Chains A and B, each alone.
Chain A
């Protein structure tokens, strides 16, 4: 080994504390990057495999009763490779031990024993025998939530008749990688399941022999999606099509895509923050080493080491720290990625979801960290290279200090000499001081960024489920229910209050943009289902005109007062021109609302309802459930509290894991910055400090000089960190803004406090470690050696 390299290794051992702190910051950034990229690759690979092997469709359409005779026409559509038609019905289940009803989506399996598209993967048990009656294959999450195994039985209320189904298999489908009931934001494994049953059974139960109500198409090439949607709509329009849609609007696919987008975002944001901080830390550490080794550099140059060799020597030092950090980060990233993929397996159901190392990401990680550290230390190393050897021989002139502005503003006696030293040290190198403050504030910001998602989620839940929706149950009817059905439901024993809604599928157009949206007719003076503006104030339902939620308005580029075209996709299919009367705030879905009575008029119908919101006496809720289950018209019942609890449980668990990581990572940044800054102050000032000790200053007084700077940096960094955290959180919410849900930019006071406390704790810890060295100062030794 070259002696210069041996010097490098020994320098590194000498610097181990600082090097470890910097390496950890790099490792944290790399770990997050590698974790996200590997999770991305694993998830995407599993999705691609599942989609292609089990023939996930490209275009979907729900219709009324469509005759099988139309199928050949569907197959003739240009670019269509395969067509699958089937029967799909949502029914209520009567699950033993569960008083509230669950909803099952029944999907038909043809006589051949497997669908042509969106095929079923049998995880356990067997595929149902299509020629046998009463067999069912149940989706895995639902089966697991209830502990169902093949051989168990479950009772479904199919078209008003209770029917006993025999579970023969547990399955997965590319169409339901994540199972979210339409109209809800979140999966509720216990109350929504997919049931595959034989086509014969469904045809018989719903009197649909020779007909279908759901079509899926798989395209030969992906480039004709728009045209196919149009042709399919035209063909199925006479049969009550509510509008075809593509994968982009398919719920399970959307959730997966959102997740992948989030991972990508994390893979960009995390390295940007962590490597930025690491570059800064490397800069101050290497600058200090070069200052300390000024005379060594001079000697090396005097003996003929070239500038290139000197430069390479210090870059190598930087790169060794960087590479160790990177390798550790990659290994940790693999471990975290593996556990993240494990956590995904609970949410997203694939036949196989295996951790796949992303070697490209590993290569990128090396590249990123190398670039960051070389850029971060370039000027410091250059100063070593350019250092004229003769000048380096001479001791450095005393740094020039000036009384700072603060001192000049304050009366002379107010500041003690110690404090004055601190102030002058800071003001002498304002750039370095700013970067230290920025570095610590990044720790605060990372903490805020990591914790705000929970605040936002809590607020979203509060807004949506406490302020806006105040019902206990929402009921949907299979067919629009007549007034008598509504009357019946509203007067069930235990129902305290109720409101009905009428919703229709539509396509809303504005200029060249359009969206498939359910328009909901609501009661003008609603008490249960309320529409709110961003300031949480109820929005009065206007007599005329349509109300859009802000997301839909943004998508369409519509403002209040604009005229939009509403094409109703049901029944008589009227096309209406409506004025946008108001905007409402919602954090999930894209929705439009209007006065229910106006909607009835527009549809030329009497008072009917698609669903109802009920407020129920908690003591009699079980009776209400039992009554609802008995009624054939009731298609689904969703229980607000149950949905909320199930969500909070799963989300809270996952967020807790993420939170602990983030607290650790933020701590790493804070310790990295504070420890390095303090350690360097100590090294720069050990002579001054020792001199002060010799002339009679106490350890405590000397520590003020050393740690006062750190304290000042931390105090300045906290509010700045709040601001940066807020801005980054804003960027994240913008990045996660999807049709399915939006994350409000809400940061609880507790999050700011927690972020500050963690950073203060990290500061105190680092300061304590460095402060101990003040008491160990070798007073005589320090004074004897030449600086």
Chain B
């Protein structure tokens, strides 16, 4: 897979981000340039505080950079206003969060339908649950599901809108190895079968083995970019 033959989905130019956290000023990104291409599975690897979540949030239109530019296809996200960003997220982006962020008062199925109701060309909620292997848990509330199951529901929710990009922020961060692998398998399967451009953030170097490309972030900057010659199946991962 070479990036020359595929469409560039994301392109960033000299991204920086500084924000205020309580009484502390955090310089999360200090000049990031990268490209993500169609159907690619990228792992953004970095320690806590390396700026990877900030980068993902900016790619997903959740946050805006302090300086620099972000392009989604031909759209300059940095030139978009709040309404255009909302539209962008609504139509193109699927998110998976470390802490699942399911609505506790809605069942698994309803959590997915919450999103399909506003999507342009969604897939059926039950089909989305089928993909993550949780069809039979459709009517359970988040509190009745294990962490791994909650995260798989979150993945089903993210893909149910049929997004162009799937952005996952430490999807296994709160999970044990076994359930973590089940979740990663689900993500890999979606990338493989639906061709959704996928970016996974992690501080776990083992997970990098399943990516097409591994981008290491350190202290708000890209430290290295590596192509994986031989991708490893999620089920073979160990940590």
Do the beta carbons of A307 and B103 come within 8 Å of each other?
no
Which residue in B90, B91, B117 is a CB contact (below 8 Å) of A2?
A: B117
Do the beta carbons of B106 and A302 come within 8 Å of each other?
no
Q: Which of B107-115, B216-224, B230-238 contacts A (4 or more CB under 8 A)?
A: B107-115
Nearest to A389 among chain B residues (CB) is B62
Do the beta carbons of B21 and A393 come within 8 Å of each other?
no
CB-CB under 8 A for A302 and B89, given A295-B99, A400-B22:
yes
Do the beta carbons of A306 and B83 come within 8 Å of each other?
yes
Question: Quick check: is B60 within 8 A (CB to CB) of the other chain?
Answer: yes
Question: Quick check: is B63 within 8 A (CB to CB) of the other chain?
Answer: yes
Question: Quick check: is B105 within 8 A (CB to CB) of the other chain?
Answer: yes
Do the beta carbons of B103 and A299 come within 8 Å of each other?
yes
Alpha-carbon distance between A301 and B106 when the two chains are bound, in angstroms: 17
Question: Quick check: is A304 within 8 A (CB to CB) of the other chain?
Answer: yes
Question: Quick check: is A222 within 8 A (CB to CB) of the other chain?
Answer: no
Q: Which of A6-14, A18-26, A169-177, A188-196 contacts B (4 or more CB under 8 A)?
A: A6-14
Nearest to B141 among chain A residues (CB) is A10
Do the beta carbons of A400 and B23 come within 8 Å of each other?
yes
Question: Quick check: is A379 within 8 A (CB to CB) of the other chain?
Answer: no
Question: Min CB distance, B83 to chain A, in Å?
Answer: 7
Alpha-carbon distance between A296 and B99 when the two chains are bound, in angstroms: 11
Question: Quick check: is B176 within 8 A (CB to CB) of the other chain?
Answer: no
* Cβ contacts under 8 Å, A400 to chain B: 22-23
Do the beta carbons of B87 and A304 come within 8 Å of each other?
yes
Question: Quick check: is A786 within 8 A (CB to CB) of the other chain?
Answer: yes
Alpha-carbon distance between A295 and B99 when the two chains are bound, in angstroms: 9
Do the beta carbons of B21 and A303 come within 8 Å of each other?
no
Do the beta carbons of A298 and B101 come within 8 Å of each other?
yes
Nearest to A10 among chain B residues (CB) is B105
Do the beta carbons of A11 and B105 come within 8 Å of each other?
yes
Question: Min CB distance, B210 to chain A, in Å?
Answer: 24
Question: Min CB distance, B150 to chain A, in Å?
Answer: 12
Q: Which of B57, B117, B169 has the most CB of A within 10 A?
A: B57
Question: Quick check: is B152 within 8 A (CB to CB) of the other chain?
Answer: no
CB-CB under 8 A for A3 and B114, given A393-B57, A394-B21:
yes
Do the beta carbons of B89 and A303 come within 8 Å of each other?
yes
CB-CB under 8 A for A307 and B82, given A7-B105, A11-B105:
yes
* Cβ contacts under 8 Å, B94 to chain A: 303
* Cβ contacts under 8 Å, A309 to chain B: 118
Question: Quick check: is B183 within 8 A (CB to CB) of the other chain?
Answer: no
Which residues of chain B from 70 to 99 have any CB-CB distance to chain A below 8 Å in the complex?
82-83, 86-91, 93-95, 97, 99
Which residue in B53, B54, B63 is a CB contact (below 8 Å) of A388?
A: B63
Question: Min CB distance, A658 to chain B, in Å?
Answer: 42
Question: Quick check: is A305 within 8 A (CB to CB) of the other chain?
Answer: yes
Question: Quick check: is B161 within 8 A (CB to CB) of the other chain?
Answer: yes
* Cβ contacts under 8 Å, B89 to chain A: 301-304
Question: Quick check: is A97 within 8 A (CB to CB) of the other chain?
Answer: no
Alpha-carbon distance between A7 and B106 when the two chains are bound, in angstroms: 6
Question: Quick check: is A371 within 8 A (CB to CB) of the other chain?
Answer: no
CB-CB under 8 A for A786 and B99, given A3-B117, A4-B114, A304-B89:
yes
Do the beta carbons of A303 and B115 come within 8 Å of each other?
yes
CB-CB under 8 A for A302 and B63, given A3-B110, A400-B23:
no
Question: Min CB distance, A389 to chain B, in Å?
Answer: 4
CB-CB under 8 A for A302 and B22, given A3-B113, A7-B106, A7-B114:
no
Interface string of A279-321 (1 = CB under 8 A from B): 0000000000000000110111111111101000000000000
* Cβ contacts under 8 Å, B161 to chain A: 303
* Cβ contacts under 8 Å, A301 to chain B: 62, 86, 89
* Cβ contacts under 8 Å, A389 to chain B: 57, 62-63
Alpha-carbon distance between A296 and B95 when the two chains are bound, in angstroms: 13
Alpha-carbon distance between A300 and B62 when the two chains are bound, in angstroms: 11
Nearest to B100 among chain A residues (CB) is A299
Alpha-carbon distance between A307 and B81 when the two chains are bound, in angstroms: 13
Which residue in B54, B60, B111 is a CB contact (below 8 Å) of A302?
A: B60
Interface string of B110-149 (1 = CB under 8 A from A): 1101110111000000000000000000000000000000
* Cβ contacts under 8 Å, A398 to chain B: 22
CB-CB under 8 A for A397 and B22, given A11-B105, A304-B90:
yes
* Cβ contacts under 8 Å, A364 to chain B: none
Chain B: residues with Cβ within 8 Å of the partner, total of 42
* Cβ contacts under 8 Å, B113 to chain A: 3
Alpha-carbon distance between A3 and B111 when the two chains are bound, in angstroms: 8
CB-CB under 8 A for A304 and B86, given A393-B53, A393-B57:
yes
Alpha-carbon distance between A295 and B142 when the two chains are bound, in angstroms: 14
Do the beta carbons of B115 and A296 come within 8 Å of each other?
no
Nearest to B160 among chain A residues (CB) is A303
Do the beta carbons of A390 and B106 come within 8 Å of each other?
no
Alpha-carbon distance between A51 and B57 when the two chains are bound, in angstroms: 75
* Cβ contacts under 8 Å, A14 to chain B: 105
Q: Which of B23, B54, B83, B110 has the most CB of A within 10 A?
A: B110
Do the beta carbons of B105 and A304 come within 8 Å of each other?
no
* Cβ contacts under 8 Å, B99 to chain A: 295, 786
* Cβ contacts under 8 Å, B104 to chain A: 296
* Cβ contacts under 8 Å, B117 to chain A: 2-4
Question: Min CB distance, A187 to chain B, in Å?
Answer: 59
CB-CB under 8 A for A390 and B90, given A7-B114, A10-B106:
no
Alpha-carbon distance between A604 and B27 when the two chains are bound, in angstroms: 103
Q: Which of B94, B99, B105, B115 has the most CB of A within 10 A?
A: B105
Question: Min CB distance, A572 to chain B, in Å?
Answer: 88
Alpha-carbon distance between A303 and B62 when the two chains are bound, in angstroms: 10
Do the beta carbons of B103 and A390 come within 8 Å of each other?
no
Alpha-carbon distance between A301 and B114 when the two chains are bound, in angstroms: 12
Nearest to A397 among chain B residues (CB) is B22
Do the beta carbons of B106 and A3 come within 8 Å of each other?
yes
* Cβ contacts under 8 Å, A4 to chain B: 114, 117
Q: Which of A298, A304, A306 has the most CB of B within 10 A?
A: A304
Which residues of chain B from 142 to 194 have any CB-CB distance to chain A below 8 Å in the complex?
157-158, 161, 169
Nearest to B95 among chain A residues (CB) is A302
* Cβ contacts under 8 Å, B169 to chain A: 393
Question: Min CB distance, B28 to chain A, in Å?
Answer: 10
* Cβ contacts under 8 Å, B62 to chain A: 298, 301-302, 388-390, 393
Alpha-carbon distance between A65 and B104 when the two chains are bound, in angstroms: 89
Alpha-carbon distance between A11 and B115 when the two chains are bound, in angstroms: 18
Do the beta carbons of A390 and B63 come within 8 Å of each other?
yes
Nearest to A295 among chain B residues (CB) is B101
* Cβ contacts under 8 Å, B57 to chain A: 389-390, 393
Alpha-carbon distance between A769 and B99 when the two chains are bound, in angstroms: 32
Interface string of B51-63 (1 = CB under 8 A from A): 0011001101011
Question: Min CB distance, B169 to chain A, in Å?
Answer: 8
* Cβ contacts under 8 Å, B60 to chain A: 302
Question: Min CB distance, A595 to chain B, in Å?
Answer: 82
CB-CB under 8 A for A305 and B63, given A6-B106, A298-B101, A299-B103:
no
Alpha-carbon distance between A300 and B86 when the two chains are bound, in angstroms: 10
Nearest to A13 among chain B residues (CB) is B105
Question: Min CB distance, A310 to chain B, in Å?
Answer: 10
Question: Min CB distance, B196 to chain A, in Å?
Answer: 15
Q: Would you list 28 pairs from A and B whose C-beta atoms are within 8 A, ordered by A residue?
A: A3-B114, A6-B105, A7-B110, A7-B114, A11-B105, A295-B97, A295-B101, A296-B104, A298-B62, A298-B101, A299-B101, A302-B62, A303-B89, A303-B94, A303-B95, A303-B115, A304-B93, A304-B118, A305-B86, A305-B90, A306-B86, A389-B63, A390-B57, A391-B63, A393-B53, A393-B97, A393-B169, A400-B22
Beyond the given pairs A299-B97, A303-B157, A305-B118, 20 more chain A to chain B contacts, judged by CB atoms under 8 angstroms and listed by A's residue number, are: A3-B111, A4-B114, A4-B117, A6-B110, A7-B106, A7-B110, A10-B105, A299-B101, A301-B89, A302-B97, A303-B161, A304-B86, A304-B88, A306-B83, A389-B57, A389-B63, A390-B63, A391-B19, A393-B53, A400-B22
A residues at B contact (CB < 8 Å)? 2-4, 6-7, 10-11, 14, 295-296, 298-307, 309, 388-391, 393-394, 397-398, 400, 786
A-B complex: 6 closest residue pairs judged by Cβ atoms: A304-B90, A390-B63, A397-B22, A10-B105, A299-B101, A3-B114
